Structure 1
């Protein structure tokens, strides 16, 4: 989703921290109009990057299934629904 190499190289946690910083700056009203527009664009890229990483992680999660005796039987794909 993000074409910015610096954003795509950020860990999920670092991208989220940067996004929180941007939101705080925008909510504070301290940024000029031009800076606000740039921050919003960066924030949108960061949001997309975080969403993409979460979707990828969700696709890899497996749920442990239990047999009739209560012991682990195997795994199945995660279903968020």
Structure 2
């Protein structure tokens, strides 16, 4: 989440909105968020933008992540 806010690519935030997002991340929620993820619970935060839109970041735990192969033969395949 920090990287998405820092890179500011997902939402185009102005300086004031970006400051709100950074303050929301810096409120000491890192430890409770990690604890929630370890318990298997989602976590996140939201920021109200100047136009009234709510930008929201959410993270949910993944116990098993299966990465598939692209279709077709790969290097060294048939």
Which has the higher relative contact order, 1 or 2, with Cα contacts under 8 A spaced 6 or more apart?
A: 1
Q: So what's the TM-score if we normalise by structure 2?
A: 0.30
